[in-house]
């Protein structure tokens, strides 16, 4: 733990990011952590604005999450969806009854002109989340999947409706050229008061890339005078959650932790100072180091609260060693 007061920025997608965010929250003073979340998965559905990665963070940090499924709330009921089915409505996207309240509240506040950042802060506060969690932008950025068939799919159509079955040839982020950093994100990058930047174990292509490509934030992050530590989302050739490994194969990349390091090295040269590998991938350490990233080998599979806290402590100590 750094002697000066730590001030950590974590960049997160959904499930993997949320787990490490819980670990960081548990080992840091609550005012020492800010989580910036991907909004590329967000979409309008049945007239509601849905923000999946943000809601995974919110439910996970507030203890409401259905941890096994990875989205939505524990103990959820499905009366709304059953009623939609009876009326012939769309039911491919699973909207639980409790979860529905989040989408209704968010959609109402946005319709009243509040920014996504302001809406997020209100919902987080209402659910007792003390960590600062913000969207990467208040503007519209929509991840689209370019399929090898030539189709372009909205992210949730790819991920949920089509169950990640289409083969992908590329990813793009509609609106990203015009979108601005959310105010709190911008303020952190300008303040230069961060002690550490942690890129959580989220999908590089559809969860982390939108954040790094937004307003070229990766260049500002790289220029900060604090270490950038990235936790590999691929462990032993597998993504612990979601389609990252499958995407890599379809993008003609080996689905390995080293290939993740090479992706970041090519796309965001000089950004990543420290690369955290799981013990099962220890044999990649020398090649990761050859990319100019300091490797750290530790347990990165987070099942228990202790696992999350242990990884968070390792990441923060690693970051501090890189800052020396």
Binding residues for ligand FO1, rule: CB under 6 A, are 13-14, 41, 50, 52-53, 55-56, 71-72, 93-95, 99, 156, 159-160
When the beta carbons of 56 and 60 are compared against ligand FO1, the nearer one is 56
Could you tell me the smallest distance in angstroms from the CB atom of residue 206 to ligand FO1? 8
When the beta carbons of 97 and 130 are compared against ligand FO1, the nearer one is 97
Q: How many residues does the chain have?
A: 324
Could you tell me the smallest distance in angstroms from the CB atom of residue 239 to ligand FO1? 11
> Which residue has its beta carbon closest to ligand FO1?
94
- Residues 50 and 103: beta-carbon distance below 8 Å: yes
Report residue 129 as tokens.
Answer: 């989340």
C-alpha distance from residue 96 to each of 15, 215, 294 (Å): 18, 34, 43
- Residues 174 and 138: beta-carbon distance below 8 Å: no
User: Using CB atoms within 10 A of its CB, is residue 6 exposed (0-12), middle (13-18) or buried (19+)?
Assistant: buried
Could you tell me the smallest distance in angstroms from the CB atom of residue 72 to ligand FO1? 6
When the beta carbons of 244 and 296 are compared against ligand FO1, the nearer one is 244
Query: What's the CA gap between 150 and 140, in Å, rounded?
Result: 24
When the beta carbons of 243 and 274 are compared against ligand FO1, the nearer one is 243
- Which DSSP category does 280 fall into? G
When the beta carbons of 50 and 116 are compared against ligand FO1, the nearer one is 50
Could you tell me the smallest distance in angstroms from the CB atom of residue 70 to ligand FO1? 7
Could you tell me the smallest distance in angstroms from the CB atom of residue 265 to ligand FO1? 24
When the beta carbons of 50 and 285 are compared against ligand FO1, the nearer one is 50
Strands (E), 232-307: 234-235, 238-239, 274-278, 294-298
Could you tell me the smallest distance in angstroms from the CB atom of residue 203 to ligand FO1? 7
Report residue 284 as tokens.
Answer: 């990649």
């Amino acid at each position: 733990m750094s002697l000066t007061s730590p001030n950590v920025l974590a960049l997160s997608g959904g499930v993997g990011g949320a787990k490490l965010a819980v670990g960081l929250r548990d080992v840091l003073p609550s005012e020492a952590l800010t989580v910036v979340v991907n909004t590329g998965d967000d979409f309008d559905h049945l007239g509601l604005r849905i923000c999946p990665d943000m809601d995974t963070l919110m439910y996970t940090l507030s203890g409401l999450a259905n941890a096994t499924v990875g989205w939505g709330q524990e103990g959820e009921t499905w009366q709304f969806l059953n009623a939609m089915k009876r009326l012939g409505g769309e039911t491919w996207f699973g909207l639980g009854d409790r979860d529905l309240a989040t989408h209704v509240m968010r959609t109402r506040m946005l319709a009243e002109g509040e920014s996504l950042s302001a809406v997020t802060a209100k919902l987080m506060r209402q659910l007792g989340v003390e960590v600062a969690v913000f969207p990467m932008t208040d503007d519209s950025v929509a991840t689209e999947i370019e399929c090898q068939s030539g189709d372009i799919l909205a992210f949730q159509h790819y991920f949920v409706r089509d169950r990640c079955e289409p083969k992908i040839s590329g990813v793009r982020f509609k609106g990203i050229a015009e979108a601005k950093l959310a105010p709190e994100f911008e303020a952190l990058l300008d303040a230069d008061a961060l002690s550490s930047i942690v890129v959580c174990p989220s999908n590089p292509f559809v969860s982390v890339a939108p954040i790094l490509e937004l307003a070229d934030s990766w260049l500002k992050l790289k220029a900060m005078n604090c270490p950038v530590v990235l936790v590999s989302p691929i462990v032993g050739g597998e993504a612990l959650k979601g389609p990252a490994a499958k995407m890599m194969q379809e993008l003609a990349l080996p689905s390995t932790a080293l290939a993740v390091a090479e992706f970041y090295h090519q796309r965001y040269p000089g950004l990543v100072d420290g690369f955290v590998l799981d013990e099962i991938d220890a044999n990649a350490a020398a090649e990761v180091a050859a990319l100019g990233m300091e490797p750290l080998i530790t347990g990165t599979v987070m099942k228990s609260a202790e696992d999350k806290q242990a990884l968070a402590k390792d990441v923060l100590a690693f970051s501090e060693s890189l800052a020396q």
